[in-house]
Chain A
C-alpha cells in the first residue's frame, strides 16, 4: 500500500544553517506530494506541493523536488530562521484514493 517515511527528529540547527528533511514514499503510479508545517498550538498548513515527477514545489524559501527515480521529496532551505521552528509533515495522495497519507512528522528547532 501507499506509505510515507520521513526522518525522525528532533532536528536542532543554528540560525542560517542549511536544512534538509528527508522524505521517501511508496506508491504505485504518480501520487501528488506535499509538505505541511505545524506551528505550536496550530493546525497543519500546506507549505508546498508537487503533482508530477521533476516538479519543484517552493514557498517561504523552502523547496522540494519530486524525484520519481528515488521515490523522494526531500525538504530543503538554504538559511533557516528561528521562526521556522515547527513540526514538518511529508504527505502523499494518490489520484485514485480519497485519503491523504502522512509521515510521522519531524520536529525542527532553530537556535538563535
Chain B
C-alpha cells in the first residue's frame, strides 16, 4: 500500500532551470496539496486541488504552477528556479469527509544554486 509517492527524493538545480515534482496517491482521495517546509517556518501551503480539474492558490504560490493531471496525480512545476525556492517539498492528500487528516509523501529535497 504505497499511499502518497513523490519523485524525485533529491534534486539540485541551477538558478533559472525548470523542473517538475511529481506526486501520486492510490487512496482515491479527491483533495491534494503541495507544501514547502523551511527551517523555523513550519509548513506553508503552495497550491491545493479539491478535485480533478480544479486548483487553487495557497499562502505562497508565486514562482510555482500546478497540474491536477487526473484524480491520482498532482504535479508542481518550477518554471525558473530561484535560490529562495531551496526547500523540502511535501505532497499530501485527503478525502472529503469533514475533519479528515492529510496523508503525506516523504518529500523532495530541492537545492537551487
Interface residues of chain A: helix, strand, loop or mixed (majority): loop
List, in ascending order, chain B residues with CB within 8 A of A31's CB: 99
Whether B42 and A44, one on each chain, are in contact in the complex, defined by CB atoms closer than 8 angstroms, is: no
Whether A46 and B101, one on each chain, are in contact in the complex, defined by CB atoms closer than 8 angstroms, is: yes
Q: B58 touches which one: A32, A46, A51, A99 (CB < 8 A)? A: A99
C-alpha gap A18/B33 in the complex (Å): 35
B110 within 8 A of A: no
The total of interchain contacts (Cβ-Cβ below 8 angstroms) comes to 51
Closest chain A residue to B58, Cβ basis: A99
Closest chain A residue to B105, Cβ basis: A43
Whether B101 and A34, one on each chain, are in contact in the complex, defined by CB atoms closer than 8 angstroms, is: yes
Whether B104 and A44, one on each chain, are in contact in the complex, defined by CB atoms closer than 8 angstroms, is: yes
- Give B92 Cβ to nearest chain A Cβ, in Å: 8
Q: A32-B98, A46-B101 are in contact. Are A102 and B50 (CB under 8 A)?
A: no
Whether A43 and B90, one on each chain, are in contact in the complex, defined by CB atoms closer than 8 angstroms, is: yes
Chain A residues numbered 63-112 whose CB sits less than 8 Å from any CB in chain B: 89, 93, 95, 98-100, 102-105
Q: Mark A32-69, 1 if CB is under 8 A from B, else 0.
A: 10100000011111100101000000000000000000
List, in ascending order, chain A residues with CB within 8 A of B43's CB: 44, 89, 102, 105
Q: How large is the interface on A (under 10, 10 to 19, 20 to 34, 35 or more residues)?
A: 20 to 34
Whether A95 and B99, one on each chain, are in contact in the complex, defined by CB atoms closer than 8 angstroms, is: yes
B41 within 8 A of A: yes
Whether A93 and B104, one on each chain, are in contact in the complex, defined by CB atoms closer than 8 angstroms, is: no
Q: Mark B86-113, 1 if CB is under 8 A from A, else 0.
A: 0000101010001111111111000000
Q: How large is the interface on B (under 10, 10 to 19, 20 to 34, 35 or more residues)?
A: 20 to 34
List, in ascending order, chain B residues with CB within 8 A of A98's CB: 31, 48, 50
List, in ascending order, chain B residues with CB within 8 A of A41's CB: 106-107
Whether A95 and B98, one on each chain, are in contact in the complex, defined by CB atoms closer than 8 angstroms, is: yes
Chain B residues numbered 20-41 whose CB sits less than 8 Å from any CB in chain A: 31, 33, 40-41
Whether A43 and B42, one on each chain, are in contact in the complex, defined by CB atoms closer than 8 angstroms, is: no
Whether A104 and B42, one on each chain, are in contact in the complex, defined by CB atoms closer than 8 angstroms, is: yes
Taking beta carbons and an 8 Å cutoff, which residues of A are in contact with B?
31-32, 34, 41-46, 49, 51, 89, 93, 95, 98-100, 102-105
